[in-house]
Each structure stands twice: as structure tokens, then as C-alpha cells.
Amino acid sequence: MTQIFPEWTNKIPAALAIGVAILVVAVTGFFWYYGSPWYTDVGYRPQQPVRYSHKLHAGDLGLDCRYCHYDIEISSVANIPPTQVCMNCHKTILTESERLLSVRESWATGVPIKWVRVHNLPDYAYFTHSAHLHAGVGCPSCHGNVAQMDIVEQKKPLSMGWCLECHRDPAMSLRPLDQITNMDWQPPPNQREIGTKFISERKIAPPVDCSGCHR
């Protein structure tokens, strides 16, 4: 009997199967990367109403994080500094600077500066700064070295998977409590040993179940 289709058409089903598999992998990889917080959130650097440089204040001048964000050790949310904090210095420093005009206007009128929050967590995620700082997790672990940033940007994905990595193995993220705001602190070679000791001494037991962060 004469064949209706040429012999090469026998390869079509295999080629289609391979093509579909490649397509599935490609689509999955596309959304895995471009839909990940590493791509969508890391690097977020909004324009602020005042060109405040963390590099100048926290880096060159050495201001401690807690001078401006003064309640991070007792509050679940890091406070955005009120104008009063800025004016503690700028009543006498750069009093005529054009860059600080909106700060002086806020001070005179009592209308707060509308700072744009850089690090945002969804409302369904419960997070407290104070618990992490008391455990010994330093500011750079989540925020990066802001003392080197002229404009603050998001450096970490702050995703559930990223948080759980630390909760499951916190030893490598812990530091001495007097170093939590030190941007230049580096873990020693025996960090795992020291971190394990901190876990025992501070009775650290990060939750890894859903109710720990979703209440």
C-alpha cells in the first residue's frame, strides 16, 4: 500500500513533544525570574520629596540608625523620622540651603513631609523590627549597607522564601547586640559557631509555620 504521508512525518510527534517541553520550561523560567521579587522589588528606589543622603548622614557623619529611626527597638514598625528630627541639626546647619526648603516649610507649617516608604511588606504579613533587633539581626541583613547609599533602594527581596531561609538557619545572620546598626560589621570565620551560641543564649526560635507571620 502506498503511504499517504512521507516518512519524515513520523518524527512530528516527537518534535512536538520536545517543543512543548521546551516551551513549558521557557514560560516557567520566565515567570520564575521576572515574577520574582528579586526582579520586581529589588532595586526599587523611589524619588523622595527631599534629597536626603544616607551616605552623607549615616556614612560620612556616622549617625546611628536609631537617631532618626528612634523606635525601631521597641516598635513593630520602623518610624519615618518627623521633621523635628531633621531640625534638631538644621536649625543651625545649612539654614539657608535650597535643598532644605521643604524641610523648613514643614517645620513652619506643621505639615509632615510626605516621605515615600521604600521597604513595603503586604498587610497579611506580620513583621516586627524589635524582635529581630533583640535577636541580633543587624540592619544591613534586610536593608543592605544604607551608609553607602545616596538614595536608599531595596536590596533584598523580602519574600516569604527569603525570610524562611533565615528562620530555618538563623545562626549566620546573628551578630553581637552592640553591632546591630554597624554597617561595616563583618561575620568572623567561626560565625556559625558564634551564631549557634547566640541562639542558645538568647533563646531564639524563629517560627517556620504559617501562623508565625500570618495572623
Report pTM: 0.81
Domains in the chain: boundaries = 54-212
What's the Rg (C-alpha) of the chain? 25
Total H helices, total E strands in the chain: 10, 0
pLDDT on residue 2: 65
pLDDT in tens, 167-192: 999 999 999 999 999 999 999 999 99
Residue 83 burial (C-beta neighbours within 10 Å; 0-12, 13-18, 19+): buried
Distance CA 136, CA 166 (A): 12
Backbone angles phi, psi at 33, to 5 degrees: -90, -55
Q: Quick one: CA dihedral 75, 80, 84, 89, positive or negative?
A: positive
Backbone angles phi, psi at 56, to 5 degrees: -70, -50
pLDDT tens digits, the chain, 215 residues: what are they? 566 777 777 778 888 888 888 988 888 888 777 778 888 899 999 999 999 999 999 999 999 999 999 999 998 888 899 999 999 999 999 999 999 999 999 999 999 999 999 999 888 999 999 999 999 999 999 999 999 999 999 999 999 999 999 999 999 999 999 999 999 999 999 999 999 999 999 999 999 999 999 98
pLDDT on residue 10: 74
* Coil/strand/helix, residue 13: helix
Backbone angles phi, psi at 104, to 5 degrees: -65, -35
Q: Which long-range contacts (CB under 8 A, 24 or more apart) does 66-71 make?
A: 66/181
